[in-house]
Amino acid sequence: MKNLSDQEMADRLDNCKKATFLIEKQQLEGITTKEESELEYHLNICEMCRVYEKQSSVINRFVKKITGAGKSEFKLDDRFKEELQKQINTRNNESSRKG
C-alpha cells in the first residue's frame, strides 16, 4: 500500500464510513440504485469494506435467527457505537503507518 497523505486518508475514511452505512442500510431496508452503484464501486476497491460486508451479513442473519424477527428492533447504543468507531479508527491508523 502506498503512503497516503493526510487528505487522502481522510477521504478514504469518509468513503469507508459511507460504504459501511450503505451496507447496513442495504441489509436492513434496501438502498437506491444510485447508492447501490456507489457501494459496488467502493467494494471493488476496498478489501476492508468487503470483509465488513460479509461480517455484517453474518451478524444480521444471526440476530434475525435468535430473535425470530424479519426486521430486528435491536439498536446499538451511541456509547457502544462511539467506542467501536474509535477502535476502527485506531486500526485504520495502524494499518496506514505499516503500509
Range of the domain at 53: 6-94
Least confident of 20-34, 46-60, 85-99: 85-99
Distance between CA atoms of residues 99 and 90, nearest Å: 14
Distance between CA atoms of residues 50 and 20, nearest Å: 9
Q: Does residue 16 lie in a domain region?
A: yes
Q: What pLDDT shows up at residue 13?
A: 62
Q: Give the chain's domain count.
A: 1
- What confidence category does residue 2 fall into, taking pLDDT thresholds of 50, 70 and 90? low
Question: What pLDDT, in 10s, does the model give residues 61-97?
Answer: 888 888 876 554 667 788 888 888 888 888 888 777 7
Q: Does residue 1 lie in a domain region?
A: no
Q: Does residue 99 lie in a domain region?
A: no
Collapse the DSSP code of 45 into the 3-class scheme (helix H, G, I; strand E, B; otherwise coil) and give the result: helix
| CA 42 to chain CA centroid, nearest Å | 11
Q: What pLDDT shows up at residue 56?
A: 94
Q: Does residue 36 lie in a domain region?
A: yes
Q: Does residue 10 lie in a domain region?
A: yes
